[in-house]
Structures are given as C-alpha cells and as structure tokens.
Amino acid sequence: MTPTQDATAAAESAPIPKAERAKLLDLQRIAPTREERLFLVLSIFIGVISGLLVVAFRSAYEWIKILALGSAPHPGQYRLMYMPALVGLVVASLVVWLFPGARGSGVNQTKAALYVYNGYISFKTVIGKFITAALAIGSGQSLGPEDPSLQIGAGVASMIARRLRMSRQRLRMFAPIGAAAGLAAAFNAPISAILFVIEEVIGSWSAAVLGSVVLAAISSEVVARLFWGSEPMFHVPPVELRDPRELLAYAVLGVTGGFLAVIFSKALGYLRPVMRNLPRWTHFVQPAIAGLLVGAIGFFGFPQVMGPGYTVIDQALHAEFTWKILLALALLKMLATALSFSSGTPGGMFAPTLFIGAMLGGAVGTFEHHFFPHLVGTVGAYALVGMGVLFAGFLRVPLTSVFMVLELSGNSSIILPVVLANTIAYLISRSLQPTPIFEVFTHQDGLELPSMEEQREEVHLHIEDALHPVDVPVLRGADSLSRASERMNETGVKVVLVQMWDRTWYALTRDELTGLGAMQKTETAIEKAVGTDRIPPLYPDLPLDSALPYFSRWPVLPVQNRASKGTLEGILTQSDVLERYQQN
C-alpha cells in the first residue's frame, strides 16, 4: 500500500486524536499521487520516443533530398524546378484530402492543443506531419524541420497521455512537454528548446511543468546524440571581442536585422491570407507553384536557398561568400520562404530564420571589414550574431535567441555582442510590428490564443500593492470575549485582530463574537473560544489574488513580516484588492 493509501485509511479509521488525524490528512495531500509519479516517468519515455522519431524524420528528408535533387545540387539542373513542383502536388493532395492538421509550422497547432483542445493532437496529424514535411523539405521547399519536429513530439505525448487516461489537466500539459522533446532533438540544443516552449507555448514558469519539460528535452537530446554525436550543429571559428568599438558594428547589425525582421513578418502576414483565401481548387497547386518558383531561384544561380540550408550557414560562418552574395542569399531566402510557407506547405520557420540571419550578419561583417579594415572581429562572428538577431526580431523570443546562438555554436565568448544586437533587433521589431508573427498566424486562423509576449511583460500585482496600515483594534489571544466586545463598542468596528500565543493571527467579527458569547462564558479567553482556527499566514510578496479565497471567511486579513513572525506589515480587505485591480 502506498503512503497516500496508508494515510487515507488511517485518517478514515476511528478513534484517532484530532491532531494525529490532521497530520495523516496532511500526508495524504503531500504524498505524490500515482499520476504525479507517472507524469515524471512518462516525460523521460516521451523524450526517448520523440528523439527516435526526430532522428527518423531527419533521415527521411535527407534521403528524399538525395533522391529528388541529387547529392550536390547546382544551377542549371532541371530537376531543381520540376522535382519540387511534382512533390508539391503530392504534398498538397495529402494535406487537403488526408492530413489537414499538418499544414503550417506546428507551433500554433501545439498552442491550440494546449489552450483550446485540452492537449489533443491526433496521431493521424503526427503521421501526416512526418510524411508531408519530409517530402516538402527533402524536395527543396524553403522550410525547416524544427517546427514539424516540435509538433511530432507534442502529438506523441498527447497520444501516450490519452492511452493512459490521464486527467484533463495532465493531458493538456503533455503537449508542451512533447514539444520540447521534439525541438531539442531537432535543434541539438535542449536549453533553447526548453526556453522556447516556455516563452512561446506555455508562457509561464511552473516548477512541476519545468521539471517534466527538462526531463523530456534532455532524454530526446541524449537519443539524438547517440546517432548524430555531441558536436554542435555549426562549427564556428574562434570568436573573440578584442576592441570595444566593435560593439558599434554589432549594434548596426541589430538595427539592420530589426528592420529586416519587420519586412519578413509583414510579407508573410500579407501573403499567407491572400493565398489561403483563393478558391479551394488552388490549394492543390499552391505548394507545386511555390516549389516551382523556389526551384527556379536555384536553377538560375542560387540553389543554396532550397531546403533548410544548414551547410550554407556553416559556409557563411567560415566567410566563404562575398557580401553581395550573402545579401542576395538573405533576400532570396526571404522570398522563397514566404512562397513556401504561405502556400500551406508543411514545414517550419526556424531554419529559414537562422539562414537569413547568418547571411545578413555575414554580409554586414564582410561589408564593414571591407570599408573599415581596423575592425578585428571575424566575419563568422557577425554571421553567428546575425542568426540570433533574426531569431529575436522575427520570432520574438529574446531569451531563447541568446541561448540558441550559444548552444548551436558551442561558443560563449560572443555573449556580449549577441545580447546587444538581439536586444536592439527585438525592440525595433516590436515597435514597428506590435503583434508577433505566430500571433498574426493565430488570428488569421480564427483563433484567440494567449499572447505569450504580453504575458511575459504583464505587471503582476502583489499583496504589498494593496495593503494599508492597521486601523482595527489588536488584541491578544489571552484577552476575554468580553474585552473584545468592549473594544468593538469603543471603536465602532465590526472586527478585531487577535494575536495568539504562538504569534499567529485571527480576525474575530462581531457576529462571530455574538455566537461564541452565547455558547461560552464572556470571560473565556479568545484563543480558547476559537480553538485551533487561524488565518493562514500572508506576506507582502505573495500574489494579490492569493488572498481572495480567504475573504469568504474573514473580512480583514493580517499581512506579516517574513523576517519577524507575528509582526504586522499592514492589513488587507476585499475592497482594497478590488480597488487595486481597478487602478491597474
């Protein structure tokens, strides 16, 4: 029998002293339930399964790429145009007829599962996402595998939770846990995956959920590294900030990246609804047309924009392009990604964002070194910072963008330029494009999901924001009921605060006093008359809404000092709380 069952059986048996019964019931509440223990174990299991699926997904689209485009695509190959178009017809047919839930990136679908559908993601959608995204990315569509991997992990977690008949609350939280596992394996960056899920999907920090998210992400990462090794995704040459004046150059990169992120967001925000609102029959050909146009970009000289582009990013980090080529690649990748994503082709935005950022950073770094040769930083450093700049400005996850650069590169010496440039890009993007891109997509899909950006910056009220000085009589627990009645009559109040022998507090109302006086002698001590009943301790730093449940029992709540038990900082009433919320 478990500790919980022992406590329950003992608490229900009689006779048991009141104090012992309370302790046993406390054990019942504190001891972890079967579902709580299972929740943590399943997080590891979900991480392992998600890691294996992501490994299979990556192998699938790389294998399809070799079959469709060859091992070394180069300009002038006709297959660069007709293969994305033909595969686009297949993908469109699968999405329209069989897997409508596979459209798009997967981030918004996971958020919708959490906030709208009680954590439900059908296994059919997982299969559809795997197949269609692998076909689309492998055939050269300008999309990335990270977002689909996120939804695949979330869908697996949802299926497992449903099979085990978990509670609705647990079922809802399994989606972001699986999302973190899928993203960690695809990104080879567990910390970034954890932060992204918290910043963009969950929107709040919770110790219980955070522990499960961490377990799932690390488990999937361990599995992925068994196949791919522990090396970071990109090999960055040595980076060192030796001249503080170089921060001005990184600031310029931040400004440029902020404006480019806004242009990219507005282009997607405009083109996506236009293509979605076209007649239904066009949905069968839109991915094919997008594939044809993206393939044409590759055919006429820039095959680097096709697919995720990880190899090209690595080349930019090693300064293998001129600044004009880098700038052209950044702009053409924006165009190609806007076409592919707006057509409804399954695939993600992470890899294209990193690609555009790396090309932009490399272009800015190469340009500045050409015209300002006294700058000592490497072009690779600018490309690396540029990846974070676009991530912060376009996807609007500033914390994730910093750790993402550090994890993907395995280089922490660039932290100061990354923070500076990312912050500038984020502020510019937010001022010119108030609505984050994922929220734009949400509104276009007819959903009203919580804005994670607004939640992060929302001002949370605490008890100290509403409490006021003590203006009611204060008595000791040893004082009599008659003394309490006298003080109420003298001051005209309907409640007095009583400090008990153990420095805890109680609020005695006039109505309660009348009832106690009728049952007991008026000279009875207050603490004896009320027994063990006490007001739970409240402190100034607690959330203001945590006090609301107690007003149904006590009209006045004493707020104590944490450093000195029993010392009052002030008192709180229900009207104080309501007035403070009205002011906010």
Domain ranges of the chain: 34-228, 246-452, 463-583
**Looking at residue 312, what is its pLDDT?**
94
Count, in order, helices (H) and strands (E) of the chain. 24, 5
pLDDT, mean of residues 487-513: 88
pLDDT, mean of residues 32-40: 62
Q: Is a pLDDT exceeding 60 seen at residue 7?
A: no
User: What is the CATH architecture of 246-452?
Assistant: Orthogonal Bundle (1.10)
**Looking at residue 90, what is its pLDDT?**
96
**What pLDDT, in 10s, does the model give residues 164-211?**
887 777 788 888 899 999 999 998 888 889 989 888 887 665 666 788
The answer to whether 146 and 352 have CB atoms below 8 angstroms apart is: no
Q: Is a pLDDT exceeding 90 seen at residue 228?
A: no
Q: Is a pLDDT exceeding 90 seen at residue 427?
A: yes
Give the residue from 185, 99, 90 showing the smallest Cα distance to 138: 90
**Looking at residue 22, what is its pLDDT?**
44
The yes-or-no answer to whether 34-228 and 463-583 have a common fold is no
How far out from the chain centre does Cα 532 lie?
43
The C-alpha atoms of residue 89 and residue 136 are separated, in whole angstroms, by 10
Radius of gyration of the chain (CA): 30
Q: What is the mean pLDDT of the chain?
A: 86
CB atoms within 10 A of CB 412: 11
Query: In this structure, which topology does domain 34-228 adopt according to CATH?
Result: Clc chloride channel (1.10.3080)
pLDDT, mean of residues 27-44: 63
Tokens representing residue 49 in the block:
């399964």
222 exposure class (CB count in 10 Å sphere: 0-12, 13-18, 19+): middle
Give the residue from 169, 195, 170, 167 showing the smallest Cα distance to 180: 195
**Looking at residue 455, what is its pLDDT?**
58
E strand spans, 35-188: none
Q: Is the dihedral of CA 114, 117, 118, 120 positive or negative?
A: negative
Which pTM value belongs to this model?
Answer: 0.80
**Looking at residue 54, what is its pLDDT?**
96
Q: Does domain 463-583 have CATH number 3.40.50.850?
A: no
**What pLDDT, in 10s, does the model give residues 67-90?**
999 988 999 999 999 999 999 999
The C-alpha atoms of residue 91 and residue 435 are separated, in whole angstroms, by 30
pLDDT, mean of residues 17-39: 50
**What pLDDT, in 10s, does the model give residues 374-390?**
765 678 889 999 999 99
